[in-house]
Amino acid sequence: MEFRLIERIRELTAQPRDDVRIGIGDDAAVLAVPPGQELVVAIDTLVDGVHFPRGTAPVDIGWKALAVNLSDLAAMGATPAWALLALTLPDADPIFVDGFAEGFSRLAQPHRLALVGGDTTRGPLSISVAVHGFVPPGQALTRAGARVGDLVLVTGTLGDAAAGLHALQNPLHGDDPRASLRDFLIARLNRPTPRLAAGAALRGQANACIDISDGLLADLGHICTASGVGVEIEAALLPRSSALLDLYDETSALHFALSGGDDYELCFSVPAQRLAEVQSDLSRLGCGVTKIGRVVEGDSVRVRGTDNAWLATDHRGWEHFA
């Protein structure tokens, strides 16, 4: 039974790569790191009912389990190559596995990412994916390089995923004209887009970079700590989708954008003189990018409201909603 599941996963995720000397099927994978490149690795676990709502479709779980990991590679400026998958399932359910593998491979394929091995066990539903990618030596982006005077930018829009979770937990009844806006927000929760091309383009440009998984304030706080700086952001500049602004009042929309988790956008700092170049590079890649603030002396994040007064914020990110 388990063997058939693994075979199915192997078929559905097949991705030929010359650097995979031995993939799924032996006791371990054998992989060739391209000469002159550094290996960048990350792992993240998704637990049923904790990292995705119970009842999330298998195809969405498969996408998201890979997406959150690719987002970590994107934040380092790495180009993905390989993944390992540890799957813990309550039972050997081929329908779950087919859906999961389809979602996983739909995201893996355009990035030429090969699933090279894993483990399959029985237990409460939980998924760990480990990803491996490459950067030129010394060029990985980190949280540590932000400098006073840098500008702070984010990709995409903020708060959609948290609003999508809120929408899921507060279902509408009957035909509601707002359904398609809610679907957009829920898709942002279930199918985050890892900003890999943007991350790679930021190598040699950004001084510090992080992906937003726990909320803008919490994750920018990590840049502050690692870089030994403060950050000031302007609430009025935060990029927010029209779906978010149409469905939620200003207070909720701001709250989601500052503290909501699961957006998987990149937040980074660049020297002011590189702003125009970075904006045009990312736009050319089809990735929206917005300046939201600047790096200052200090040790934490402050948010200036639209009335110019500092907002009372904390840095607990999405835990704020618990």
* Cβ-based nearer residue to ligand ADP, 73 or 84: 84
Dihedral sign from CA coordinates of 283, 239, 195, 178: negative
Nearest C-alpha neighbor of 293 from the set 233, 203, 221 = 233
Q: Nearest CA to 140 among 222, 39, 213?
A: 39
| Residue of 2, 7, 11, 119 interacting with Mg ion (CB under 5 A) | 119
Distance CA 168, CA 148 (A): 40
Q: Could you tell me if 151 and 275 are in contact, meaning their C-beta atoms sit under 8 angstroms apart?
A: yes
Catalog residues that contact ligand ADP under the rule CB under 6 A: 6, 9, 24-27, 85, 87, 115, 117-120
Q: In the complex with ligand ADP, which residue's Cβ is closer, 112 or 178?
A: 112
Nearer to ligand ADP, 9 or 167 (CB): 9
Cα separation, 306 vs 142, in Å, equals 31
Shortest spacing between CB 264 and ligand ADP, in angstroms:
23
At residue 48, the 3 state secondary structure works out as strand
Picked from Mg ion, ligand ADP, none, the partner binding residue 117 (CB below 5 to 8 A depending on kind) is ligand ADP
**Other residues' Cβ atoms within 10 Å of the Cβ of residue 128:** 18
Residue with tokens 């030929």: 16
Smallest distance from the beta carbon of 1 to ligand ADP, in angstroms? 12
Residue 61 beta carbon to ligand ADP: minimum distance, rounded to whole angstroms? 13
Radius of gyration in angstroms for the set of CA atoms belonging to the chain, rounded to a whole number: 20
Q: What angle, rounded to 10 degrees, do the helices at 179-190 and 58-76 form?
A: 60
Q: How far is the CB of 192 from ligand ADP (least distance, A)?
A: 21
Residue 9's binding partner out of ligand ADP, Mg ion, none, with CB under 5 to 8 Å set by partner kind:
ligand ADP
d(CA 230, CA 283): 27
> Could you tell me the smallest distance in angstroms from the CB atom of residue 27 to ligand ADP?
4
Q: Which is nearer to Mg ion, 28 or 309 (CB)?
A: 28
Q: Are 71 and 208 in contact (CB under 8 A)?
A: no
Q: Could you tell me how many residues of this chain bind Mg ion (CB under 5 A)?
A: 1
For 12, the 3-state DSSP assignment is: helix
In terms of CB distance, is 45 or 120 closer to ligand ADP? 120
CB of residue 261 to ligand ADP, shortest distance in Å = 26
Reference 194, options 69, 290, 57, 52; nearest CA is 69
The yes or no reply on residue 319 touching Mg ion (CB under 5 A) is: no
Residue 26 beta carbon to Mg ion: minimum distance, rounded to whole angstroms? 11
Question: Interacting stretch for Mg ion, rule CB under 5 A, among 26-34, 114-122, 126-134, 203-211?
Answer: 114-122
- Using the contact rule CB under 5 A, the part of the chain among 29-37, 117-125, 130-138, 155-163 near Mg ion is 117-125
Query: For residue 90, how many other CB atoms are within 10 A of its CB?
Result: 12
Binding residues for Mg ion (CB under 5 A): 119
